[in-house]
Amino acid sequence: MSGRFSVLLLILIIQVFLIAPSAQGVRVKDITTIKGIRPNQLFGYGLVIGLNGTGDKGGSKATIQSLANMLERMGIQVRADDLKANNVAAVMVSASLPAFARIGKKIDVTLSSVGDAKSLQGGTLLLTPLLGVDGKVYALAQGPVSIGGFSAGGAAGGGITKNHPTVARISGGATVEREVHFSLEGRNELTLILNNPDFVTASRVADVINSGLRGVLARPMDSGTIKITVSEAYRKKLVEVIAKLGRLEVVPDSVAKVIISERTGTVVIGENVSISTVAVAHGNLTIKVKETKNVSQPRPFAPEQPVEGPSPQQMEGGVIVSPGGNTVVTSETAVDIQEEKGGLQVIPKGSTIGELVRALNAIGVTPRDLITILQAMKTAGALQAELEIL
């Protein structure tokens, strides 16, 4: 019985050591991309019609000329000077063509006004070709737009606006008409690109792939690239290999980094940040300046004095009066200075992030004060991390 118990205990210990690292890991597909498998950006110029007087005004000559050209292509001869564009808006249409998108696939498009239109609400995008960087048409967009908000105003200029009415979206508003050629068939090599390059992470990814997949050989080329060689037997199963590769788990590593934003007062401290022995003292100096306006009334039935130039004043019962009969405004300024007593806090070497935060909270620092303290600690050489300021 004891021998069986020992065997079960040994199996349990082995399972714990095998499962524990993967529990903290992430999937390879979440931290890498495969070279060549990426989306492509498309864009085009189009017209949104059917607006309720919120389109481009008469000064938008490009919109009027575009409308005239469209009507001319449809066999309608009209002068541009005879057109009004209040119900029409010129827009730039952008979309992202996914990898392996086939002809007939629907993709989302985003419309952005390029004129002085007030809102695209209720409009319809006319047929718009979407071009790639090579100048070829890859998709055609058309359909009713949605802005997810509204804009309403009065004749006097006031109004209310929800969301951004000059940017709209059409879900599935474009149809793919041309494919970007990329094939995995017959390939004997794949290249993985790390989203956050790191030598340790690249080595770990290669080790996990070599131990978790048969028929492939992974080797890190640099901090952000892993080259994978596929054997002859698995070249026809490349999609299956990529699927299994993406499900493998690895524990990524990262450099010690502290990110601060002076604009918003945000401080983000990474996990691997370490602190050398340092003493921190902090105190705030607050200066309050308060100004009070006093009104000096004249004597009863006093003759009024000319307003040009200063008038003589005198004190009666602690109140400033003007013997000439003018009402004057005086200012009183009060200055108050308060300085907080900052204590000296010693942070020992090897302190954790929690200990650092508790020590700084003990001396009552605010997030903006923390930014200054971290910068001073970095200058003193006590902050063993990369300091990045947004």
Higher-confidence residue of 77 and 162: namely 77
Q: Which of 197, 247, 243, 251 is nearest to 224 (CA)?
A: 197
Q: Which amino acid is at 323?
A: P
Are residues 119 and 198 located together in one domain of the fold? no
Q: Is 0.75 surpassed by the pTM of this model?
A: no
Which pLDDT band, with edges at 50, 70 and 90, does 371 fall under? confident
Are residues 385 and 281 located together in one domain of the fold? yes
Strand partners, 320: 315
Q: Is residue 79 part of a domain?
A: yes
151: left (phi over 0), alpha (psi -120 to 50) or beta: beta
- Name the domain boundary from 210, 228, 250: 250
pLDDT the model gives residue 110? 94
**Residue 133 in this model has a pLDDT that exceeds 50:** yes
Are residues 329 and 375 located together in one domain of the fold? yes
Per-residue pLDDT tens digits for 77-113: 877 777 777 888 999 999 999 998 999 999 999 999 9
Instruction: Give residue 232's domain range.
Output: 189-250
Asked if residues 232 and 72 have their Cβ atoms less than 8 Å apart, the reply is no
Are residues 273 and 384 located together in one domain of the fold? yes
Cα(219)–Cα(209) distance, integer angstroms: 9
Q: Is residue 4 part of a domain?
A: no
Asked if residues 196 and 214 have their Cβ atoms less than 8 Å apart, the reply is no
Q: Is residue 266 part of a domain?
A: yes
Q: Which of 55, 40, 47, 56 is nearest to 129 (CA)?
A: 47
- Kindly calculate the radius of gyration of the chain based on its CA atoms and give it in whole angstroms: 35
Are residues 172 and 198 located together in one domain of the fold? no
Q: Is residue 204 part of a domain?
A: yes
**Residue 358 in this model has a pLDDT that exceeds 60:** yes
Q: Is residue 195 part of a domain?
A: yes
Are residues 130 and 95 located together in one domain of the fold? yes
DSSP state of 234: G
Are residues 359 and 372 located together in one domain of the fold? yes
Q: Is residue 227 part of a domain?
A: yes
Are residues 223 and 280 located together in one domain of the fold? no
Are residues 367 and 262 located together in one domain of the fold? yes
Are residues 240 and 293 located together in one domain of the fold? no
Q: Is residue 34 part of a domain?
A: no
Please state, rounded to an integer, the average pLDDT across all residues of the chain.
76
Asked if residues 223 and 199 have their Cβ atoms less than 8 Å apart, the reply is yes
Are residues 352 and 266 located together in one domain of the fold? yes
First-to-last CA distance in the chain? 63
Q: Is residue 386 part of a domain?
A: yes
Per-residue pLDDT tens digits for 179-227: 988 888 778 888 999 998 889 999 999 999 998 888 889 999 998 999 9
| Percent of the chain with pLDDT strictly greater than 90 | 23
Least confident of 76-85, 273-282, 371-380: 273-282
Are residues 281 and 349 located together in one domain of the fold? yes
Q: What are phi and psi of 238, to 5 degrees?
A: -65, -35
* Six token digits for residue 270: 């990474």
- Name the domain boundary from 250, 266, 285: 250
Asked if residues 361 and 373 have their Cβ atoms less than 8 Å apart, the reply is no
Domain count across the chain: 3
Q: What are phi and psi of 154, to 5 degrees?
A: -105, 180
323: left (phi over 0), alpha (psi -120 to 50) or beta: alpha
Strand partners, 230: 216
* Six token digits for residue 37: 């498998």
